[in-house]
Structure 1
Amino acid sequence: MKKHIVVLTGAGISAESGIKTFRDADGLWEGHDVMEVASPEGFARNPELVLNFYNERRKQLKDVEPNQAHKDLAALENDYNVTIITQNVDDLHERAGSTAVVHLHGELRKIRSVGNENDIKDFTEDLSIGDLCAEGHQLRPHIVWFGEAVPMIEEAIEVCQKADILVIIGTSMQVYPAAGLMDYAPEATPIYYIDPKPAYMNNNRVHLIEKSATQGTKTLLELLKA
């Protein structure tokens, strides 16, 4: 029976494909305060700004490609059962070939009704004010904004509880509830943490790989073969 590898990924893995992150330096995301474009309050104040912001992010996705780290994780499926739990809203894991991806914070290429959070549809074009669901409600990006519940967190916890190996890549481990997921892994489960500037962890079962995502996954594959 194949071992189960669970991989927690954050903005650091997508950054190497050219997707900007708002946590790098000034707290701005593409020139906007994140609360303007990533909160229910921001959407209520200026829905057109928010819709246009995510339209631009959706367009940007068409110009980027999965990097070697995404591809290496997909290749792990040849020898392991692999589940990826990502904080990223892009689809680079799927495009690299990963078949089991849990998106904690939603997906750029999906939209949902403001009147029914379970009315979710695939979407790749521009979304505008006046674009309505079948029940007449405005459509919005399928993104978990600050202050909103994380609907996939229970599934993510269950996955982590069954991990034989846990890998953390490109995340500050500062954003909750995602940052608490590693605590659900069984006590005997080894943890590999790939990040050029890893957060401090007082945990002797965490193996630090202080490298970028693409270099770190290469090291990880070598360690797993050893």
Structure 2
Amino acid sequence: MASERSDEEDWDEEWSGVHGGVRPSPVVRGWLRVIRMLASGPIIRVPPDVLSVAGVLVVAGALAAVVGPGWPALVVPLVVLAGVLDGLDGAVALRTGRARPLGAVVDSVADRVGDVLLGWILLAIGAPMPWVLAAVTLVFLLEYARARAQAVGMPGVGAVTVAERPTRLIVVAMAAGGAAVWPAGVPALGWGWGLTFAVTWTAIGVVGLAQLLPGLRRTVPPTFPGPR
């Protein structure tokens, strides 16, 4: 049991190291336990890049389920599966020693493609295009600011915000689930599910940027690293 606790602590330390020393919350710690358990099974033999691409394909399948036969209920399990794959690609890379810069690029590109597909799902559910564009633009702005800060020497992610990818997956899953159970829209608001959660995603994106910017100011080095 002691060695098991030690393994879990090592797993937390690895996550913290990747995220600039931020300690995982109890919710994140529980999620890490699930990912750690899955990454210890047969899936550990799958290349991390394949898992990244598989996550995108699963989100594409969720979009097809709405655009094609009109099955928003199918979006919920598919989005959950995409979230699991999104966690597993990094976990498998760390556990097998296959983490590499190119893999991080593949993961990042896959995430951005997935974000566009998530916005497209909201659009298919009935969200107005301007709200979807606002939501997705905020994601790209947040991730671009983080990537540029890392390029000039910022360690980690600057700050773990409320607008991270798991939140975006949850927002779209809730929109699809609501559309499947109550197609008429949100009873308390009179809005469609697509509009409601496109607005929610946009609001979360604004808060996420507000959380990230102070983190960038704290952690971006004042001068460029290395010789000029």
Q: Give the TM-score normalised by structure 1.
A: 0.28
Greater strand share, 1 or 2?
A: 1
Greater helix share, 1 or 2?
A: 2
